[in-house]
Structure 1
Amino acid sequence: MAQISEPRTGDRIAKLLARAGVASRREVERMIAEGRVALNGTVLDTPATVLRSLQGVTVDGQPVALPEPTRLFLYHKPTGLLVTERDPKGRTTIYDRLPRDLPRLVPVGRLDLNTEGLLLLTTDGGFKRQLELPSTGVERSYRARAYGNVTQQQLEELAEGVEIEGIRYGSIDANIERRTGANVWIEITITEGKNREVRRVLEHLGLQVSRLIRTRYGPFVLGDLPVGEVGEVKQHEVVAFRRTLKGGAPDEPVVEAPRDGFRSAPTVDRTVRARTRAEQAPRPVTPARPARSPEAFKPRREPERSGSQTPRAGFRSAATTDRAARTRTRPDAAPDTRETRGRSDMGRKDAGRSDTGRGDVSARPERQGGRSNRDGAARRDERAAPPGGRAPR
């Protein structure tokens, strides 16, 4: 009868030590090979040891502390730094520039020597691995400045994926941001994060990349974080984000973060903060408004002004649309509108045509000012000039 193997309970010791912040998994495996890790006084010789906890485990004779809650930092990496713990050639790494009071951190993914922008750093090796897996589907966004000619149609074809030198790259979302002379700025979003993926894809299109900036990793954005500065993500945001990833998040106590000296890192989904604050803050209770009677909805009538009221200094009287209303209020005033003048002229013309065919010009009062008659001769002003020879105005 075949024996049914029991399911493994626990995790490999390298994973537990990496999560406890001792070292990376690869480094822990080297430490075990060097005989520096022991369990209950017995030196371990294989990294395949499965444990439920780190109770009784020592490294270099010192007991391992319990793992702390996962912490996540955002780092604005400048160009010219290697994303590695040590370099055999002695080149400058990010650890040479990071603040000394930070806990032990491992980078999430890598950025090339000449690539700048957002780099995630975490205290949890398991979280690091979870973010790096292509199956997790965490998006990474970049801004690339490249020399050469490319069309939007060529970039849209990358959505179907592309194969370059036997390596298959998945769907890529790329759009032209703007053109500056012979250069073009392109926004690119990928989900796999293979080695030098962005540069190789753009070079495949005949472009020469002169600058590459990572602007986003998952919901975490570079924002206005200065170059070389570090910002810590709040712990409850880290837990909320891990719950959305494949595999979920382990049960961890929520601690207050960030510590003094570190600014809060920006996130894309700012509604998470808003929802969290809204849930924590008590909702204000507003008293119900009393029902209003139908009379309360009647339009308010403006008080009537008497004719003796005059506008205040600095304000002129508003013009009324109904000009006939003014005329009715002033019976002695003659109407002075184009419409009334036109009608009176039409009446005079019709009266003149009834008998003789000539207009009754004498019935129309003459206007001074030298206007010409119909025959072209100038009209005379028959009023006598006053003494002094000046004509009346």
Structure 2
Amino acid sequence: MSGFETPEGIRLQKVLSAAGVASRRVIEQYIVEGRIRVNGETVTELGRRVDPETDLIDVDGTAVQLDVTKRYVMLNKPTGVVSSLRDENGRPDLRVFTDDYEERLYNVGRLDAETSGLLVLTNDGDLAHVLAHPSFGVTKVYIAKVEGEVTAQTISKLTKGIDLDDGPIAADKARLLDTSRGSSLVELTLHSGRNRIVRRMLAAVGHPVTELVRRQFGPLHLGTLPVGKTRELTKIELGALLTLSRRDSGVAEAPGEQQENE
């Protein structure tokens, strides 16, 4: 970022005001109240200057994005769309949604073609890498429609753990939402990044998935966003997402490994 006021950087009030946090006067009050940290240290002086390109700032423990060129979008991905920006087999891909934005957006993690629900699109490569990496273990919540009438014993089995071909797995949470006429709705909460893990878990306990939607990704909730629609994240959502990504931004990259949650 160019245009520093001095070689030492830009006043904190100016940087946070430009980022849309609050007015400079309000930010000064935040500083007095000890509500702002720079690189983990509470700011105490009103004349504090920062480098927006390198310093990490949070207000009340929530991270702030200083780079206004970064864009963060929530998509309710329909079934039949692959989580790729160019599918080699000619199937519908994410370009139908990313072409609406000037920035070149990328998907954070993946959902398979027949799974719908919450997918994040962004041009923030650092955030995308951290949140999508299997080692990071972001919590995801899915609702699955399955064959058969699920029992309380089956729900317990999902949380206690089951053995799959690639090792044991247990849901963080599981609950039965509905069961009738030979099918059931099950909500699963997982932090695993293993391939098609929800479908494989439910098949392993005798209830193959017929429909699957991801309702939550970390602090983000799909809410009432219609299928096939996008919206930009709110400042509160973005702050929560950045805070989550900065919590463990030192995750090492595993070559060739990419998350496909469902």
Measure the CA separation in 2 of the matches of 1:193 and 1:90.
26
- State yes or no: 1:173 paired with 2:188: no
Give me the identity figure in percent. Answer: 34
8 Å CA contact 2:143, 2:215 repeated in 1: yes
The match for 2:96 is 96
Q: Which 4+ residue blocks in structure 1 deviate beyond 4 angstroms?
A: none
Two-structure CA RMSD over aligned residues (Å): 2.4
- State yes or no: 1:232 paired with 2:232: yes
Q: TM-score, normalised by structure 1?
A: 0.43
Measure the CA separation in 1 of the matches of 2:236 and 2:172.
31
8 Å CA contact 1:239, 1:249 repeated in 2: no
SS across alignment from 1:168: strand
What displacement does 1:69 show?
Answer: 4.8
The match for 1:137 is 137
- State how 1:367-378 maps to structure 2 within 5 Å: none
What displacement does 1:157 show?
Answer: 2.4
Structure 1 pair 137–180 and aligned structure 2 pair: CA distance change class (3 A): same
- State how 1:73-84 maps to structure 2 within 5 Å: 73-84=73-84
The match for 2:120 is 120
The match for 2:146 is 146
Pick the structure with greater CA Rg: 1
Structure holding more strand per residue: 2
The match for 1:271 is none
SS across alignment from 1:118: strand
Measure the CA separation in 2 of the matches of 1:144 and 1:222.
15
The match for 1:209 is 209
SS across alignment from 2:130: helix
Structure 1 pair 157–179 and aligned structure 2 pair: CA distance change class (3 A): same
Q: Deviations over 1:84-109 (max 9, x none)?
A: 12122211112134443341111111
Number of residue-to-residue matches in the alignment: 185
Structure 1 pair 222–236 and aligned structure 2 pair: CA distance change class (3 A): closer
What displacement does 1:70 show?
Answer: 3.6
Unaligned stretches of 5+ residues in structure 1:
1-52, 54-66, 251-393
Q: TM-score, normalised by structure 2?
A: 0.64
Higher relative contact order (CA 8 A, sep 6+): 2
Measure the CA separation in 1 of the matches of 2:249 and 2:198.
30
Counterpart amino acid of residue 193 in structure 1:
G
Structure 1 pair 124–111 and aligned structure 2 pair: CA distance change class (3 A): same
The match for 1:105 is 105
What displacement does 1:249 show?
Answer: 7.2
- State how 1:275-354 maps to structure 2 within 5 Å: none
8 Å CA contact 2:97, 2:230 repeated in 1: no
